[in-house]
């Protein structure tokens, strides 16, 4: 294995049937997106944005386990002023292939200037006035008020209105088709056991997560984890699969995707 997302698989707590060793590589999500989409790196398994998966569906299975999905909440656009007009403005976006960036583009019909930046740099860019607004993901989406920023667009509100309340796809785990469906199923099952272990040993899991968090507030990180690591992470469900299909349909209709992405049952493990 080249890299994976779940730490317990590399900590020796959970084994993957058929694999003897796992190498765990930590990078921000947009770096992983670019590695797989733009550079075409041939890795065994990785976390990617749901948006990025549209470009690698022919090379990777989409795993039912390991997804991050919003329900009742999601990425937010913040600014220093409630009166900012988003159409025509400069908005910091955490990467070309992030799902949050895709949904924002669809919602605003592309009528803004994206300024791509690392997700953890965006709050300061907004605070210092280098951009008119910023799209926040990860822990920053619940930490923005500490900088005196205000929400001017909640993407969950838009998504729920347009889709009738489907869960919002954000991040997914993928597995190389090169290794076959059987290996993908073994990895998925181990990943599920990893998540179950983390549920049962939350303080231990939080200690592990804090090693990689840019936000050092333990209570805030725990809150964020509980938002996005839940039953949907164990299995996204049929409505979760439909949410991904809906995302790709909206992206195609808006012109972001050059061709339709037909997510078939054979694509999902």
Catalytic annotation, residues: 138
Q: For residue 165, give the H/E element and its range.
A: none
Helix (H, G, I), strand (E, B) or coil at 105: helix
Rg from Cα positions in the chain: 18
Task: Return contacts of 122-131, CB within 8 angstroms, 24+ apart.
Answer: 122/92, 122/94, 123/78, 123/147, 123/149, 125/92, 126/78, 126/79, 126/80, 126/92, 127/80, 129/80, 130/92, 131/89, 131/90, 131/91, 131/92
Q: Find the distance separating the first CA and the last CA of the chain, reported in whole Å.
A: 18
Name, in order, each residue with C-beta under 8 angstroms of 171's C-beta and a sequence gap of 6 or more.
29, 47, 48, 49, 50, 67, 68, 99
Dihedral sign (CA 31, 192, 198, 145): positive
Quote the tokens at residue 72: 């009742």
Q: How far apart, in whole angstroms, are the C-alpha atoms of residue 229 and residue 83?
A: 34
Quote the tokens at residue 94: 């955490």
């Amino acid at each position: 294995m080249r890299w994976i997302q779940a730490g317990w698989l590399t900590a020796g707590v959970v084994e993957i049937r058929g694999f003897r060793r796992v190498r765990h590589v930590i990078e921000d999500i947009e770096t992983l997106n670019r590695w797989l989409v733009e550079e075409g790196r041939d890795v065994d398994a990785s976390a990617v944005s749901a948006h990025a998966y549209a470009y690698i569906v022919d090379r990777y299975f989409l795993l039912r386990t390991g997804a991050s999905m919003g329900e009742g909440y999601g990425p937010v656009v913040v600014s220093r002023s409630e009166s900012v007009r988003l159409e025509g403005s400069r908005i910091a976006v955490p990467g070309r292939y992030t799902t949050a960036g895709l949904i924002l583009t669809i919602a605003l019909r592309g009528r803004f200037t994206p300024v791509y930046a690392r997700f953890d740099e965006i709050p300061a860019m907004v605070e210092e006035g280098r951009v008119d607004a910023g799209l926040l993901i990860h822990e920053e989406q619940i930490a923005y008020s500490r900088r005196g920023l205000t929400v001017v667009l909640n993407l969950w509100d838009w998504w729920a209105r347009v889709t009738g309340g489907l869960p919002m796809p954000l991040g997914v785990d993928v597995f190389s088709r090169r290794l076959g469906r059987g290996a993908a199923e073994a990895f998925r099952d181990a990943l599920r056991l990893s998540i179950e272990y983390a549920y049962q040993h939350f303080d231990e899991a939080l200690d592990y997560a804090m090693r990689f968090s840019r936000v050092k507030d333990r209570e805030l990180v725990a809150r964020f984890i509980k938002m996005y690591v839940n039953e949907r992470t164990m299995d996204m469900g049929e409505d979760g699969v439909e949410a991904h299909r809906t995302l790709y349909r909206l992206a195609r209709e808006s012109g972001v995707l050059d061709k339709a992405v037909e997510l078939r049952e054979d694509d999902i493990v």
